[in-house]
Amino acid sequence: MILRALAIWLVLLVLASANGALREGIIIPATGETAGRAISTLLLSAIILATAWFTIAWIRPSTSGDAGIVGALWVALTLAFEFLAGHYIFGDPWARLLEDYNLLAGRIWVLVLITTATAPWLASRGRGLWV
């Protein structure tokens, strides 16, 4: 289950990168920074939910706890990538990386993390994989 969950997270990483390119290249120029980031966040959340829906039977969590483990793994990998790769590979300063968590500035990125954490459980439950 963990290796399959890791494989799907890699798919999510590619999809999230494509979403970021779409945000920077099309959405923000058309809507502005704050609205563009919000639209991109909602779009990525929908992509995560859809990906979980279509792949959860392959991942095969056998209990709600297993689905929770998948969600926790996905969030941990996402945060590790975002902060470690963001800072050490892409050179973003820590303050810039933390900007996306400022709800008072209209940044709703935390919704992606909540979606990522809950998507495996929601998909499992919705697909009737366990009671």
Whole-number pLDDT of residue 106: 86
Q: Is residue 55 part of a domain?
A: yes
pLDDT over threshold 80, residue 23: yes
- As a whole number of angstroms, the distance between CA 117 and CA 50 comes to 14
pTM: 0.93
130 or 127, higher pLDDT = 127
Q: Is residue 131 part of a domain?
A: no
Range of the domain at 15: 2-126
- As a whole number of angstroms, the distance between CA 35 and CA 129 comes to 37
Q: Is residue 117 part of a domain?
A: yes
Neighbours of 53 (CB within 10 A): 16
pLDDT single digits (tens) 62-107: 999 999 999 999 999 999 999 999 999 999 999 999 998 999 888 9
For the chain, what is the domain count? 1
Neighbours of 50 (CB within 10 A): 13
Percent of the chain residues past pLDDT 90, beyond the cut: 92
Instruction: Check: CB of residue 130 under 8 Å from CB of residue 62.
Output: yes
Residue tagged 């969950």 (tokens): 5
